Structures are given as C-alpha cells and as structure tokens.
Chains A and B, each alone.
Chain A
Amino acid sequence: MVGFIVRRVLWLIPVLFVVSLITFALMHAVPGGPWDREKPLNAGTVQRLNEIYGLNKPVWLQYLSWFGGMLQLDFGPSYQYRNRGVNDILRTGWPITVQLGLMTFAVAILAGIPLGIVAALGHNRMPDYIATAISMVGIATPSFVLAILLIIVFSVGLNWFPSRGWKGPETWVLPVVALAGYQIAQIARYTRASMLEVTRKDYVRTAHSKGIRDTAVVVRHMIRNALIPVITILGPIFAFLVTGSFIIENFFGIPGIGRLYIIAIGVRDYSMIMATTVIYAFAVAFLNLVVDVLYAYIDPRIRYS
C-alpha cells in the first residue's frame, strides 16, 4: 500500500511535465504574443519587454527556466498585470475556487446519496419516479442553462439571492447549486443502482431472515456496502467540478482561478495560462489518487500492487 502511494505520487511528476509541455507548445505554436494590442506597440518597446521577460531566448530555454521555477513553486511574472506575479494573483483566486469546489462537492454528496437511497428503497414506486425525474433534469441541463434558470427564478423573480459576485453566504447559493446540479444527478444514479444491486445480495436476505429491523438492515448492511462503488465516481466528479468552475465563475463574476484562466487566455498571458493549467491538472491527478487510496482503504478486498 505504501509502495503504491509512493509510486503514484512520483508518477505525478512526469504527468505534470508532459501536461505543461503540451500547454507550452500549444501556446507557442501560433502567431501572436502577450504584447499584441489594438494599437501595436512600437518595435523597440516590444524588444525591451521581450528582454525583460526572457521571451527573446530560445523556446526550449524558456520552457526549462519556467519548469525550474515551477518546481520551486515560482510561477513567474504575469504579462497582463505588470506589477503582480502569478503567485500573487493565484493566492487571491485559488481560495475562492477551492471554496466553491468544496461547497459544491459537499452539496452534491449530501443531496445525491440520500436521493439515490430513497429512489432505491422505493424502487418502481413514487419516490423512485420523483428521484429519477430530478436526476434526469440534472443530467439534461448544462450548468450555464441551470444558472440562467436559477437567476430568473431566485434572483430576478423572487429576489432572494444576488445574481453576481462573491461576497458572503447569500452570493454562494446560486453558483453552488448551478454547479452541483449535474453532480447530484450522477451520484444519485450511481447510488440507486448500487443500492438495488445489494438488495439482492445473500447477506441482506440473511440479515432480514435473522429478524433484524428493516432500518438496521438498510443502514448497517445495505448503505455501507452500496456506497463503496460510489466512491469510484468521485474522481470524475472532481474533474467535472474543476472544468465546470470555468463557466460558473465566469457567469457569476466570481474572481476565482477559472475566471482568471479565461481572461488570461484572451490576452495570451503565457505564465498565467501555464500556472492555471498545471495547477488544475495537479488537482485532478491528486484527487484521483486520493480516491484510489480511499477505495482501497474502505474495501479491503482491493489490493494494489
């Protein structure tokens, strides 16, 4: 187990190397640079800027110096905010994105799992149909459409929550719900299927025939076993949260990393794009690792070698 974890952690290094290499290559593959403006800067200025930022060096050297800096967690200067480093910008954006992600994740689990359990316990009856209908809406509605609908109803119509910004609990509700919709649906579907699967298991029948109360069978025997496979989809859910946050942060004007990324892409802020891509890739790879370890920890039948 320890060997497995160590190997997986070391494996993150080549992954990040290749991800950053691809990103770097894509950014430099095409004409245009961070100094392109509506009104072109004069050649002298561009040359001086290139010297200051090291953009006149060969591309491979630029990449290596960037990678060396990254290993020391220094993501270099930003090209769009002349007086701020990327690290500085990330420090303000990162906590917001993490907070949004964690709250969404919590909401998705707290809503999705009970929904799935209720659906399975009322299989082919009213609760099942209602829960299935809810998860259908969740799967069918892209986060940006859900966001529009939420704003129409709760912001414009009922005036309960503000439609933009990130300044306290009342501004958190709509973005979190918009981002969580799809996740709730996925978790509910998996939980339902997994619950139905264990309903037919011998140990559940045994528990029933021993005369254990229904609630005890459900809580102690069924739910505990049914939730194990659900853990496997938490990895993809995290990845989805990550990418979903671009759209939602942009939509609600939340100053997190996703919004910074979209802005950076627009103005070709190389160092900012590199930093956000690598951080996102790291987050996804790391969370997948955590899910794998968690899975092995909870289900002792699973052995990693």
Chain B
Amino acid sequence: MATQTRTLTGAGAAARRSEGVWRDAFGRLRKNKLAIAGAFGVLFLLFCGLFGPILAPWPYQAQDLQAIAANGNEPLAPFQNMSHPLGTDQLGRDIMSRLLDGAQVSMTVAFVVQLVVLFIGIPVGAIAGWLGGRTDTYLMRITDVFYAFPDLLFIILMSVAFRETAFGRALNGVLLVFVAIGLTAWVTVARLIRGQLLSLKETEFVEAARAIGVSDRNIVTRHLLPNAIGPVIVAITLGIPTAILAEATLAYIGIGVQPPRASWGTLIAEGQGFIRSYPWLTYLPGFFIALSLISFTFLGDGLRDALDPKLKGKQ
C-alpha cells in the first residue's frame, strides 16, 4: 500500500513537472514577437498548402486562352481582371492557382522530409547513443560519410539517376524529392539524439528506472527520448527552410517536381525570361519562398530560445 502511494505521488509530480516545462516554454515563446510572426506565417502557408486546391479559382494547369486573347496575347497583370486575381502567365494559366499548388508542394516537402528525417535519424541516434561501444562507432562512421557528402550534389545525383524510373515519376517527381532531401538531412537529428542520450543515460532517473527493473527498450522510449525531444523539435523546425530551399532549387534547375505541377522554383525559372515585361511572374513566387524561409526560421529560433533558456540570445 505504502509503495503504491509513493509511486502515485512520484508519477503525479513527474507529470506536473513535464507539463510545466512545456507551459513555461510556451509562455516564453508567446513573448517573442518574431517567433509569433513566424508562427502566423507558418499557419498561413499551411492553410494555403492544405486548402489550396479548394481555394484555387482555376485548376493549376488550365489555360484560359480566351482571357489572353482578349488581352492582345499578353499575360494578365495582377488585379487586372478579377477572374484571375493575381494575373496569368503567358500561357493563360492562373498565377494564384499555380502559387497555391506550389504551396502544397513546398509544405508537403517541408513536412514529409522531416518525417523521413525522424524515421531514420531517431532510431540511428538512439541505438548509437544507448548501446555505445562498437555499434556507436560504426553508426557514427556511416553518419560521418553522409555528412561529408555535399547535400545538393547527392540530391541532384539521386534525382537524375531515378528520374526515368517508376519511383522517380511517382507523384510527378515529388516522392523522389522527399527521399533525396530526407536522405541528406537525417544526419543532424541522429547526431543530436545520440549526444542527448549519451549524457542522459548517466543521469539518476535512468539509474532509478533500471533499479526498479524497467526494460532497456522502455528506458529509451519512455524516459530518454521524451527528455531529448526539445532540441529535436528545434532541429526539425530549422530543417524545414533548408528542405524548402533545396526543393525550390531543384525545381529551378529543372530536375525537381515535374510539369505540369508547379513548384515555386519552377515558376521562377519560367518567369525569369520575362522579368522586364511581366515582373510579377518572378516576384510572386519569390515572395512566397522568402515568406516560408523567414517564417520557419523565426519560429525555429523562437522555439530554441523558449525550450532552452540557457541559450537565450543565441540565434
């Protein structure tokens, strides 16, 4: 009976404390104006990505040739004709619809790539950090090799090698982009988790868990990983702009998402040649890329300051 009571208070206290940590962090985050602005930017982009196809006035590949012909075969400028709020390109495709489709591509890449990263990074880091010894050495050597491989080079190689295969064509090339970017990005998370586990596994609460006979697996999944999650959230958030940028760059040089799907990078590449006559074709997607890079970076910085007050001020 006595034992039971003690266990209960212990568990209750732990729950209260961990909830407190997150609440404190959220309180600090809320005071950070840049981070809140970033969070709103992220919400806006997510909204565009999720509901883009519903909101889009036209299908992204539809050509409104009549509108173009009525305009003397010139693309419509933004706000010129309210059936195409942000104008059209020279093929009569609605810019707003293409931007929204680009938002969907970018947001999917942003989040699916991070899933790939977690899926590889957490197990590799956790196994290396927990088992230590030879396993740790081997896993970290593999990680080092991937770290040494220049990211964009690897992504370009993957994209070109698999472009003509069924895997490369899946979802208009979006799947290949996920995998290629994810395979280069997991290294940071693996290293982070390993480092956290190496220091956490020497702590007293792990010793205590071991003493009462908790299995290795449960110590890692229930006690160690939840304690290591803060830095991982930060790394994941800050990894998103990198992934978005990589995707846009790939699409810009023409080996990422395949037409007729529109990535922001593709839109810039298409508009670039007409920048003097029709600047909005380049500026609008450029603005969206900038918005997403800034929003995720600010949110990530804010999360870092909020979750680890010791690092406050370090950007």
Q: Residues of A at under 8 Å CB distance from B?
A: 11, 14-15, 18-19, 22-23, 26-27, 29-32, 136, 139-142, 144-145, 148, 152, 156, 189-190, 192-194, 196-197, 239, 242-243, 246-247, 250, 261-262, 265, 273, 277, 280-281, 284-285, 288
* Nearest CB on B from A279, distance (A): 10
- Contact of B297 with A by CB under 8 A: yes
Given contacts A192-B315, A262-B253, whether A280 and B153 have CB atoms under 8 Å apart is yes
Indicate whether B248 reaches chain A with its CB closer than 8 angstroms: yes
Q: How far is the CB of B139 from chain A (nearest CB, A)?
A: 14
Q: Is the CB of B157 within 8 A of A23?
A: yes
16 of the cross-chain contacts (CB-CB < 8 Å) are A23-B157, A26-B158, A26-B161, A27-B161, A31-B164, A139-B294, A140-B290, A142-B249, A145-B286, A148-B272, A148-B286, A152-B275, A193-B314, A242-B150, A277-B153, A281-B149
Indicate if B111 sits at the interface (CB-CB under 8 A). Answer: no
* B66 beta carbon closer than 8 Å to chain A: no
B164, A142: Cβ atoms closer than 8 Å: no
Q: Mark out the residues of chain B between 146 and 173 whose CB falls within 8 Å of any chain A CB in the assembled complex.
A: 148-154, 156-158, 160-162, 164-165
Closest B residue to A273 using CB positions: B157
Closest partner residue, chain A, to B141 (CB atom): A14
- Report how far A31 CA is from B160 CA in the complex, Å: 11
In the complex, whether B289 has a CB less than 8 A from a CB of chain A is yes
Flag if A148 contacts B282 (CB, 8 Å): yes
- Contact partners of B268 in chain A: CB under 8 A: 144-145, 148
Q: Is the CB of A247 within 8 A of B252?
A: yes
Cα–Cα, bound, A30→B157 (Å): 12
- In the docked arrangement, what's the CA distance between A145 and B281, Å? 12
- Alpha-carbon distance A26/B176, docked complex (angstroms): 14
For residue B82, CB closer than 8 A to chain A, the reply is no
- B156 lies within 8 A of A281 (CB): no
Interface contact B275-A148, CB-CB below 8 Å:
yes
- Knowing A140-B290, A148-B282 touch, does A243 contact B164 (C-beta < 8 A)? no
- Interface on chain A toward B: helix, strand, loop, or mixed SS? helix
**Number of CB contacts from chain A to chain B under 8 A:** 107
Select which of B161, B249, B275, B276 is within 8 A of A247 by beta carbon: B249
B161 engages A243 (CB within 8 Å): no
Give the CA-CA distance A183 to B165 in the complex, in Å. Answer: 36
- Using CB atoms and an 8 Å cutoff, list the residues of chain B in contact with chain A: 141, 144-145, 148-154, 156-158, 160-162, 164-165, 241, 245, 248-249, 252-253, 268, 272, 275-276, 282, 286, 289-291, 293-294, 297, 313-315
Q: Top 8 A-B pairs ranked by shortest CB distance?
A: A243-B152, A140-B290, A193-B314, A193-B315, A285-B148, A26-B161, A140-B294, A196-B313
Pairwise interchain contact B164-A281, C-beta atoms closer than 8 A: no
A residues near B241, Cβ cutoff 8 Å: 139
Flag if B294 contacts A136 (CB, 8 Å). yes
Residue of B nearest to A265 (CB): B160
Give complex CA distance A141, B293 in Å.
Answer: 8
Are the C-beta atoms of A139 and B144 separated by less than 8 Å? no
Contacts known (A15-B144, A142-B248, A189-B315); A243 close to B149, Cβ less than 8 A:
no
Would A243 and B275 count as touching, CB distance under 8 A? no
Q: Is the CB of B248 within 8 A of A19?
A: no
| Contact between B294 and A29, CB atoms less than 8 A apart | no
Kindly name the residue among A140, A196, A265 whose own CB sees the greatest number of chain B CB atoms within 10 A.
A140
Q: Is B248 a contact of A243 with CB atoms below 8 Å?
A: no
User: B165 touches which one: A30, A192, A250 (CB < 8 A)?
Assistant: A30
Chain B residues with Cβ below 8 Å from A32 are 164
Q: How far is the CA of A194 from the CA of B314 in the complex (A)?
A: 6
Nearest CB of B to A117, in Å: 14
Chain A residues with Cβ below 8 Å from B145 are 14-15, 18-19
In the bound complex, CA of A280 to CA of B151 (Å): 11
How long is the Cα–Cα vector from A193 to B312 in the complex, in angstroms? 9
Q: What residues on A are CB-neighbors of B141 within 8 Å? A: 14
Given the contacts A139-B293, A141-B290, A26 and B157 also touching, CB distance less than 8 Å: yes
Q: In the bound complex, do residue A243 and residue B151 qualify as a contact, i.e. CB atoms below 8 Å apart? A: yes
A228, B282: Cα distance in complex, Å: 40
- Complex: A268 Cα to B268 Cα, angstroms: 27
A243 nearest CB neighbor, chain B only: B152
- A145 to B157 alpha-carbon distance, docked (Å): 23
Q: Closest CB-CB distance, B59 to chain A, in whole Å?
A: 27
| Chain A residues near B245 (CB-CB < 8 A) | 142
A37 to B131, CA, bound (A): 52
- Beyond contacts A139-B297, A148-B268, A239-B150: 4 other A-B pairs, Cβ-Cβ < 8 A, are A22-B154, A23-B157, A26-B157, A140-B290
Alpha-carbon distance between A145 and B241 when the two chains are bound, in angstroms: 15
User: Could you say which residues of chain B place their CB within 8 Å of the CB of A250?
Assistant: 253
Residues of B within 8 A of A243 (CB): 150-153
Q: Which residues of B contact A144 (CB under 8 A)?
A: 249, 252, 268
- Which of chain A's residues have a CB closer than 8 A to the CB of B275? 148, 152
- Chain B, Cβ-Cβ closest to A149: B286
Question: Nearest Cβ distance between residue B272 and chain A, in whole angstroms?
Answer: 6
Q: Which residues of B contact A30 (CB under 8 A)?
A: 161-162, 164-165
